[in-house]
Structure 1
Amino acid sequence: MATQAEDLVEYGFRRVIITITAVLCALLEIVDTTIVNVALNDMRGTLGATLTDIAWVITAYAIANVIIIPMTSWLSQQFGRRNYFAASIIIFTVSSFLCGNATNIWELVFFRFIQGMGGGALLVTAQTIITESYPAAKRGMAQAIYGMGVIVGPTLGPPLGGYLVDNFSWPYIFYINIPLGIIATVLTLSFVRSPKYGEKLKANQVDWWGIVFLAAFIGSLQYVLEHGQQDDWFENSTIITLSVLSFLGLIFFIWRQLTYQYPIVNLRVLKDKNLRIGTIMCFILGFGLYGTTFIVPIYTQSILGWTATDTGLLLIPSSITTALLMPVIGKLIQKGIPQAYLVSIGFLVFFGFTFWMHNVMTPDTGTEHMFWPLILRGIGLGFLFVPITTLALSTLQGKQIGEGAAFTGMMRQLGGSFGIAIITTFISRFSQQHRVDLISHLDSAKFEVQQRIQQMQMMFMSKGFSASESLDKAHKALEGSVIKQSTVLSYMDVFLYLGIMFLICIPFMLLIKKGSGKVDMSNVH
């Protein structure tokens, strides 16, 4: 068995090709999660969809993604890893073509769901393939290389999407996947090898109920997180129904996996303490990574009036910093520096980033104010991603590696979904609170307030409006200014609370068992 694990280790040219293929696939999947955001308006116009309908383009992909991720290890064992990986790339590529050719909104949503089914497998299987292609001593470096794709991906999406939409049309954000998908399929079939698995399950042994319960739990939860804020959370009957369905799905899913002979997700692998801590840390990492990737573009576009391309370019130096730092962190882990220390530094640096952003945010902040805080974010993510992933898998053996990678991948995605849902809710609630507080200071009897309104009225009158029209416009302009200020204050609050959450995590890192930092790959099935 141990020699079989070593059989999967590649050297020289083959390892380079396999690494490039796996990173390319992980990058394809992650870029596709964020590239759509900047094209939603154009899609709405072309397909004649409402705002609520167009949100399903993102939701359908996310739901399919999160359902398939926990099942990847099991599906790899059923079909052979190389075949499953290649099939996932083909599904992803073909559905990308179909998305670009969709003639109405629900066609697009359906094809996005299929694309998400193919894409979910790419992330976790790419991680397992890279991990197994490197000898045990270099596993930290393997995670660093994989991590570059995962961290850079969310940042590349918006500027690339912005460029394609501005210069071509929205279907090209899907067509760009086709040549890359074809190359990745050919390389996978030529170079990737599968471990030898035991017997495959017969159709009547497959845990169909487990699949149904998992889909009910994760699918409902993802919908609730994506649509909760816009549907007013538990004031909405659909949200209540799906929350109950998600909870029952979870209970039945856990019961089924622990009692059925051939479970689709091996929950017993969570007995490993490092994996348990690693999955929680992956959740928090997803919260911080996707949460800040979500909040910065919204702030720059809605408050500062930037274009999608400008926003994307702002985030690129941060991602390059992370990519450059990751191999260094991989080397430090190889030298035996405990991952817990590196993660603690990462959390501290990330707190520094959020606190700095909290202090520089105004209604007219410029690029120069955000450049260095975002570089700090890049450093923080570099210190977090590689140590957390190697830590989670460091004490696992054999086929547990793939099962552990599935848990960390799922928790990172769910962390992102929770992060975005909580951040949008907080921004909405905090904005209302700040607006009430600011208006309470706008006493019309105060001389300063009267003077400000009078100045604005005069300005509008100078543009040819009547006195009453100008007064009305002055009041509206003041109201607009209050809304803008209250929104900026709510963003400041969110950054502060995010930072506090990261600070609180540091003591928990002391619970971690000091492992070798290497992943033991003996007994791979």
Structure 2
Amino acid sequence: MEQQDSLVEYGARRAIITITAIICALLEIVDSTIVNVALNDMKGNLGATLSEVGWVITAYAIGNVIIVPMTSWLSQQFGRRNYFAVSIVIFTICSFLCGNATSIWELVAFRFLQGLGGGALLVTSQTIITESYPIEKRGMAQAIYGLGVIAGPTLGPPLGGYIVDNFSWPYIFYINIPLGIIATLLTLQFVRSPRYAAKKAAHEIDWLGIFLLAVTVGSLQYILERGHEDDWFSSKIIVTLTISAILGLFFFIWRELTYKNPIVELRVLKNGNLRIGTIMSFILGFGLYGSTFIVPLYTQSILGWTAFQAGLLMIPATVATAFMMPVIGRMIAKGVPQQYMVATGLFLFFIYSFWGYKIITPDTGKDAFFWMLIVRGVGLGLLFIPITTLALSTLRGQEIGQGAAFTGMMRQLGGSFGVAAITTFIANRNMLYRNDLVSKLNVNDLNVQQRVNALQHSFMAKGMTPDVALQSAHKLLDFTVTKQATVLSYMDVFLYLGLMFLVCIPFILFIRKRKGATEKMDMGEMMH
């Protein structure tokens, strides 16, 4: 325990370290969503196809997910401060290179490297914050960190929309540069490294583990990000990568449990709380990224909003989360059982989703979203901090970093699973509903004929010839059908997301009762 206490900071130092860690977490997260808004401009500028430009997001996510599980080991190898500082430097330099890229594949390559630098920022900043606060203030520490993690995905789109509307797309990368420089200097000045055991020599390093990890996680992330576009298992690449992900995972687990210096310490998952926290982080990622993905998509594609407007819509929810954070930090410090908070958060998420299911139409007004998104914001606050605190609550010393890496990786993978599942689901439901609606449009039906006639006359009044006007009337009818089908698909997404959260509630309440006694004992030991 001595080593861990030596990292607890007080006063101004603690404030500066906390700010540094949050800047880094924000840099990493804002960067994963800010790009979504600029894809169109990049496509035009770099002469790329839509699926090529999708790689700008995929490459970053793959780099991220490969490095996250290795962060704890890399911190031990190079010293945490050095590793953290180098990651910020890599991230910042790659941001500059991304902005200067002249071809799409150059941009993709730099995004991958940027993802490798960024992966460390998230998990290491969480470990640094956790260890800088004494145990009784850990809930508060997670609250402060959580603010960055939840605000990040929401800030990305409006910020990106604003930059793209008023400047040009490279600036979404250039804004990282001043922040990166400040964060590097603060890290070198204030962050301290724990005293680790001696470094491993090159021949002791688990190279095979590193390789298997990269293959497994890289393949999985590729499948999730590109599966929908490549039509899943009808694509040879997807089939090959699925096999390599399954085999890679099997051999990776076997290797890590038998090798004496594993790159990822799987044994830390023996901790019951961490196991639950890891699973819940996955569900949280699914909901957090899934709902952050679907609301802007719906408002832009169906309601025809700009990226900036769609981004601004999410701000009140983020403010609600921000407001909840310190409250929840205090509740945890006072000993309110975390499982009740998580259950409440899941229930609020269910209400939010069901509300979305109820209000979505082809022309929902802006005001309809306000309270629904506030509910989402409060629910997220109740989920994020208790899950993270719960996961790391009974870990000590080095284990904290390893635990943070697991929860971080699962949250990212949950997000990718969420987005992949939602995209595929929407596409499939869309076809289903479209065929269903078209079959109900009977050409001999009087209502249909009247509608087509009315449309034809309105087009003729605008100076079209009767045959062109008829074509236009049919096109408009077709467009209306497509729009209706899409709206129905979005409704389903909201409904099923809501049900997923509802189903999780009993598990949370049930799981924790058995573990209560051991947790109290562990907490007691930790206090001594």
TM-score, L = length of structure 2: 0.97
CA distances 1:373-422 after superposition (whole Å, capped 9, x unpaired) = 00110011010000000011112122111100000000000000000000
Residue of structure 2 in register with 1:387 after alignment: 386
Within 2, Cα distance between the matches of 1:140 and 1:83?
Answer: 27
How far does residue 470 in structure 1 lie from its aligned partner after superposition?
1.1
Residue of structure 2 in register with 1:356 after alignment: 355
How far does residue 172 in structure 1 lie from its aligned partner after superposition?
0.5
How far does residue 51 in structure 1 lie from its aligned partner after superposition?
1.2
Residue of structure 2 in register with 1:147 after alignment: 146
- Indicate whether 1:511 and 2:511 are aligned: yes
How far does residue 520 in structure 1 lie from its aligned partner after superposition?
8.8
Paired residues in the alignment total 522
Residue of structure 2 in register with 1:409 after alignment: 408
Within 2, Cα distance between the matches of 1:104 and 1:301?
Answer: 27
Residue of structure 1 in register with 2:446 after alignment: 447
How far does residue 3 in structure 1 lie from its aligned partner after superposition?
2.2
Within 2, Cα distance between the matches of 1:27 and 1:303?
Answer: 30
Kindly tell me: are residues 307 and 250 of structure 1, through their superposed partners in 2, closer, same or farther at Cα, counting changes over 3 Å? same
Residue of structure 2 in register with 1:107 after alignment: 106
Residue of structure 1 in register with 2:420 after alignment: 421
Within 2, Cα distance between the matches of 1:138 and 1:229?
Answer: 44
Q: Read off the aligned partner of 2:511 and give its amino acid letter.
A: L
Residue of structure 2 in register with 1:200 after alignment: 199
Residue of structure 2 in register with 1:52 after alignment: 51
Gaps of 5+ in 1: none
Q: Read off the aligned partner of 1:375 and give its amino acid letter.
A: I
CA distances 1:436-468 after superposition (whole Å, capped 9, x unpaired) = 111122112211111111110111111111111
Kindly tell me: are residues 521 and 301 of structure 1, through their superposed partners in 2, closer, same or farther at Cα, counting changes over 3 Å? farther
Kindly tell me: are residues 518 and 447 of structure 1, through their superposed partners in 2, closer, same or farther at Cα, counting changes over 3 Å? farther
Q: Read off the aligned partner of 2:27 and give its amino acid letter.
A: L
Residue of structure 2 in register with 1:172 after alignment: 171
Kindly tell me: are residues 77 and 477 of structure 1, through their superposed partners in 2, closer, same or farther at Cα, counting changes over 3 Å? same
CA distances 1:157-216 after superposition (whole Å, capped 9, x unpaired) = 111111111111111101100000000000001110010000100001110100110011
- Indicate whether 1:474 and 2:473 are aligned: yes
Matches within 5 A, 1:296-311: 296-311=295-310
Instruction: Answer yes or no: is the 8 Å Cα contact 2:3–2:397 preserved in 1.
Output: no
How far does residue 4 in structure 1 lie from its aligned partner after superposition?
2.0
Within 2, Cα distance between the matches of 1:455 and 1:519?
Answer: 73
Within 1, Cα distance between the matches of 2:349 and 2:78?
Answer: 41
Q: Read off the aligned partner of 2:79 and give its amino acid letter.
A: G
Within 2, Cα distance between the matches of 1:92 and 1:435?
Answer: 44
Residue of structure 2 in register with 1:368 after alignment: 367
Within 2, Cα distance between the matches of 1:38 and 1:96?
Answer: 17
Q: Read off the aligned partner of 2:489 and give its amino acid letter.
A: S
**Larger deviation, residues 140-149 vs 49-58:** 49-58
Instruction: Answer yes or no: is the 8 Å Cα contact 1:394–1:517 preserved in 2.
Output: no
Q: Read off the aligned partner of 1:441 and give its amino acid letter.
A: K
Consecutive aligned runs of 4 or more in structure 1 exceeding 3 Å deviation: 515-523
- Indicate whether 1:378 and 2:377 are aligned: yes
What's the secondary structure of 2:314's corresponding residue? helix
Within 1, Cα distance between the matches of 2:427 and 2:101?
Answer: 33
- Indicate whether 1:220 and 2:225 are aligned: no
Instruction: Answer yes or no: is the 8 Å Cα contact 1:396–1:520 preserved in 2.
Output: no
Kindly tell me: are residues 519 and 480 of structure 1, through their superposed partners in 2, closer, same or farther at Cα, counting changes over 3 Å? farther
How far does residue 516 in structure 1 lie from its aligned partner after superposition?
5.1
Instruction: Answer yes or no: is the 8 Å Cα contact 2:81–2:188 preserved in 1.
Output: yes
Instruction: Answer yes or no: is the 8 Å Cα contact 1:398–1:522 preserved in 2.
Output: no
Residue of structure 1 in register with 2:312 after alignment: 313
Within 1, Cα distance between the matches of 2:430 and 2:352?
Answer: 22
Q: RMSD of the TM alignment (CA)?
A: 1.3
Q: Read off the aligned partner of 2:230 and give its amino acid letter.
A: D
Instruction: Answer yes or no: is the 8 Å Cα contact 1:457–1:467 preserved in 2.
Output: yes
Within 1, Cα distance between the matches of 2:434 and 2:168?
Answer: 39
Kindly tell me: are residues 29 and 521 of structure 1, through their superposed partners in 2, closer, same or farther at Cα, counting changes over 3 Å? farther
**What is the identity percentage for the equivalent residue pairs of Structure 1 and Structure 2?**
68
